[in-house]
Structure formats: structure tokens, C-alpha cells
Amino acid sequence: MTKEELVRFICQSAPPWNIVCKKYFIRLLRFIAQEEISIPSTKAVKEKAFKLYVELKSCIRDRLQSVDRVSITLDCWTSANRISFIGLTVHWIDTDWKLCECVLAIRQLEGSHTGECLSEIVLEVLAEFKLSEKLCAITTDNASNNTTMMAILERELRPVNARFTAKRHVLCIAHVINLVMQAGLKALNVIDDGPQSSFINEVDLTSLEDVMDIEEHEPPAISLGDVV
């Protein structure tokens, strides 16, 4: 096993960097190799990972230069240990009409997730990969900060990409459907309005009578516009 293969394994499976110092991990590698091999230190693995990242980033940037137009999707989330991130993925169609995609960046978010903060990161990533002039559309959920972000991007990109406007904001249909279903279940009083809102807690559909009883009720009027 080469150092690069070891680094690729760590990057893909995401164990702690110091796994290379663990006794039984070292024994496993030597058992697989069937010989006494040198295991790189944690510092060496980190340095190799960063070098590999730079090389791959350069390859992706070079490949995207032959693409005329791209779209991106982005989303924000908070990890279990309360660290916020934003991820950006680029999508394009190659010369063989094949839909391609690639993760461009995962950045830590500092402070509030405002539209100004998000637009700053998006503009920075676009500039790094020389995609400012190629951007066609952006897909996000329908949070209000994304609407603000789109307006800022339209203004900032106008000098180099007049075709991109805030109207090229595509809402994630999966997110919209989820909101519709959550609103519908809430209106039927089958979910809480609290942190456990994704769990049905008031209706037991264990019998045919339960199902038929629900079907006999007049469904509440739910407006899609009220949800999204």
C-alpha cells in the first residue's frame, strides 16, 4: 500500500487522522501487505492529503474550462457538534451529452447564514474555478436567505455574466414536497410541531378500521402557496 492509497482511504472513509498511529490499524496494514512496512505519521498523512487536494482541484478546474455553461447546487447544514457548513456541487453536460457533476467545495460557515455570507462564499468558489462567466442557474431550498443571495449574485456577476439573473433560481423539488407533506400531516394533527415533528405520534394505522376512519374525514384545504 502506497502513502497515496492510504490517504485516499482516509479521505473517503473519514476516520480520525491519527488512525495511522493506532496499534491494531498498523497491524492490519502489515497483515495485508504480508511484510514489515513503514506507516506514515499523522502529520505526513495530512500533508499528503492537502497535496492530493490541490492536485485534484487543479484537474477539476482545467476540465471545467472546456465547458460552456454550468449550474450549481448548494446547501447548508449543521453537524452533530454544532459546526455549520455549506457545500457546492457543479453540474454540466459534456460533449457526449452526458450529465456530469462534481463537488467544488465544502466550507465552514462562520456567524449567521445570511444571504450576504452565502453569496460571498459562492462568488469566491466561482472565481477559484473560473466559473463566474459560465454560471447558468443555482438550485437551493426555498429559505429566504437564498433569495437574498441570488439578488446579490445577480448584481455582482452582471459585469461578467449578464445572462445570469435572480430568476435563474431553481427550488429543490424534494424540499418543496417535504414541506407540503409536513404541512399536510400537521393539518391532520398526526405530527407534533416540536423537534420530533418527523414522527407520527397520534394515529395508529395498525388496523383497517383506522385507515377507513381517516379516509371518511374531509381533508383540510392546504394551499401550496401557503407552504412554499
pLDDT per residue as tens digits for the range 113-135 = 899 999 999 999 999 999 999 99
Q: Is the pTM of this model over 0.75?
A: no
Domain architecture of the chain: domains with CATH? 3-61 (no CATH), 67-171 (3.30.420), 174-227 (no CATH)
Q: Can you give the pLDDT at residue 191?
A: 64
Q: Can you give the pLDDT at residue 75?
A: 93
What angle, 0 to 180 degrees and rounded to 10, lies between the N-to-C axes of helices 3-13 and 42-64? 80
The tens digit of pLDDT for each residue in 7-52 reads 999 988 989 999 999 999 988 988 888 888 888 899 999 999 999 9
**193 — pLDDT class (breaks 50, 70, 90):** low
* Percent of the chain clearing pLDDT 70 (strictly above): 83
Q: Can you give the pLDDT at residue 124?
A: 96
Q: CA–CA separation, 182 vs 88, rounded Å?
A: 26
Q: How many residues does the chain have?
A: 228
The residue that leads in pLDDT, 138 or 225, is: 138
Mean pLDDT of 162-174: 91
Nearest by Cα to 109 from 138, 87, 127: 87
What angle, 0 to 180 degrees and rounded to 10, lies between the N-to-C axes of helices 115-128 and 144-157? 50
Query: 3-class DSSP state for residue 227?
Result: helix
**57 — pLDDT class (breaks 50, 70, 90):** very high
**190 — pLDDT class (breaks 50, 70, 90):** confident
The tens digit of pLDDT for each residue in 71-113 reads 999 999 888 888 999 999 999 999 899 999 999 999 999 888 8
